[in-house]
Amino acid sequence: MTGRLTGRKIVITGAGSGIGRESARIFAREGATLALLDRDRDAAQVTADETGGHVFAVDVTDEAQVKSVIDEAGAALNGIDGLLNSAGILTMKTIDDIDVAEFRRVVDVNLTGTFLVCQAALPWLRQSPTAAIVNIASAQALLPSLLGSAYAASKAAVMMFSKSIAKELAPAVRVNVICPGATETPMTDQGVAPDDVEGRKALAANYAMKRLCQPAEIANGILFLMSQDASAITGVALAIDNGRTFH
């Protein structure tokens, strides 16, 4: 590790599992101090035990709760230099199968939650000379599959929201978005179970590299965008997807 985040104070949502947890591990090894937010406090605590981060339970769809927790996190860290929005949920239902309540829930968590956390963190981020936001969209935002129209729509909205606020907040805050392909996380396991060998093979066949991503591969891309190595980069949607969307 190179200390690329030494002294930086970073808030991570969805820190209790998957990409959020792996990012926390890498950020901590690179010298960051962390606030770990998750709806599941116990899951976030596991991450905290590995990284030394501060734990906060939050429902990202609850405006008042988000504002309160972000302010608590900012006070605990004595500032916020970076924000990673990794909280999200998945549905693989088609338009024929999904009902309006579930559609709204997917959009509320994935899009509105990202908006609420970004908005709440802005007063803190604007006090940092090197402020950066990284939001997690999906390769589905670039090239949707035959399932999960609600998920794809919500993540495409996260991508364009991120690009829009990159323009609005420049030059004070850099904003970028990661578009991961299928990754070895609990979210992917919801769609195709780990013991479904044939299903996993069929999923991997959609990718040029013929495999799923590892969480660390996504987290390393996030690390780059969060660090000052990416000081001239804002408004970028970076696909890390083993070649699913380039062709």
Write down the pLDDT at residue 155: 97
Residue 246 lies in a domain: no
Residue 39 lies in a domain: yes
Residue 158 lies in a domain: yes
Query: What is the number of domains present in the chain?
Result: 1
- Average pLDDT of span 1-9: 91
Residue 229 lies in a domain: yes
**How far is 209 from 226, CA to CA, in rounded Å?**
26
pLDDT above 90: percentage of residues in the chain? 79
DSSP annotation of 90 reads -
Strands 9-13 and 131-136: unpaired
Write down the pLDDT at residue 247: 54
**Amino acid letter, 75:** A
Residue 52 lies in a domain: yes
CATH number for the domain spanning 148: value is 3.40.50.720
Nearest one of 187, 175, 171, 179 to 142, comparing CA atoms: 179
CA 3 to chain centre: 22
**How far is 182 from 232, CA to CA, in rounded Å?**
28
Task: State the pTM of this model.
Answer: 0.93
Residue 245 lies in a domain: no
Alpha helices in 38-193 (DSSP H): 41-51, 63-77, 100-107, 113-125, 149-169, 186-191
Residue 1 lies in a domain: no
Domain span holding position 211 = 9-239
Q: Which of 56, 124, 151, 161 is catalytic?
A: 151
Q: What band does 2 get if pLDDT is binned at 50, 70 and 90?
A: confident
207 has catalytic annotation: no
| Tens-digit pLDDT profile for residues 185-215 | 777 777 777 777 787 787 778 888 888 888 9
| Tens-digit pLDDT profile for residues 120-149 | 999 999 999 999 999 999 999 998 887 789
**How far is 37 from 35, CA to CA, in rounded Å?**
6
